Amino acid sequence: MAYTVELTKVIEKMNLEVLTPDVDIAEIQVSQTDVNRPALQLAGFFDYFDSNRIQVIGQVEYTYMQKMEKDHGVAMMEKIMESKVPCIVFCRQLEVEPDFLELGKKYGVPILRTTKTTSSFMAEVIRWLNVELAQRISIHGVLVDVYGEGLLIMGESGIGKSEAALELIKRGHRLVSDDVVEIKRVSDETLIGSAPDITRHFIELRGIGIIDVKTLFGVESVKNTQSIDLVIKLEEWDREQEYDRLGLEEQYTEFLGNKVVCHSIPIRPGRNLAVICESAAVNYRQKKMGYNAAQELYNRVTNNLMKK
């Protein structure tokens, strides 16, 4: 499924100046994460031109247009606008020719301007569009920021995910989402989780109802987005099932093609889920820093056996 973002949102986020106020931008959508500097198009080469991208005019393109004959520059710019590009952005607060503004009005293409340099603007808008237009899914679970690690708690309905999250919040950690987690794949390695707007900062506790975490515990207890680093799957204790007791081999689960480390935690009365989740997050962080407790124990046992 292809996602889009409103051009009005791009203008607001990037703090762009609108030079064509008569052009209606309400219905214009941006669907490509990449942008284009139309240097070749200004020279007349339109093969493989992607008209769905935001077009960026920098110092190089601007200087080239000034050096070419005016009629040719206007003709090339008109050909670009005929393709119904989402918008054209002039960087470095460059002065825009009145003829270009007239063309923008004629073809309904917004002409925008920014004070940023071309490279910095392109880097910023591409990074932002990669997040806004990323592949996404919604799953049932709870996402909490524990010691800076994104902990996604999953399990059957009623198993205690929200209660574990509430205990983590009371211990100083931050809630991202309860019940429904929206996951975006922003790169081959990074998944970003967030809450739907309608349920953000709320937790449902059976027997009590809905509570507003931000109101009860303060703004330091919530967070809008968080990378998903570790998954905890809560499941009912099964005497017949064997559970990993050493952790020498990592288990993974997959979202949108990205693998995430996953631990299955059996639930029995008396187990403190919040402490288990904290320990899992700290242990994961320790592994990222190069220390693996399970491997250290294995090495000690192996060395001890070799001495005998």
Catalytic residues: 140, 161, 179, 245
Tell me the β-bridge partners of 231: 152, 262
DSSP one-letter string for 236-286? E--TTS---SS--S--EEEETTEEEEEEEEEE-TT--HHHHHHHHHHHHHH
Does the annotation place 157 within a ligand binding site? yes
Does the annotation place 233 within a ligand binding site? no
Does the annotation place 80 within a ligand binding site? no
Residue 219 to residue 201: CA distance in whole angstroms = 10
Q: At residue 176, what is the residue type? A: V
Q: At residue 100, what is the residue type? A: F
**58: CB partners within 8 A, 6+ apart:** 37, 91, 92, 117, 118
Q: At residue 91, what is the residue type? A: C
Does the annotation place 160 within a ligand binding site? yes
Does the annotation place 209 within a ligand binding site? no
Does the annotation place 27 within a ligand binding site? no
Does the annotation place 250 within a ligand binding site? no
Tell me the binding residues: 155-162, 204
Tell me the binding residues for Mg(2+): 162, 204
Tell me the binding residues for ATP: 155-162
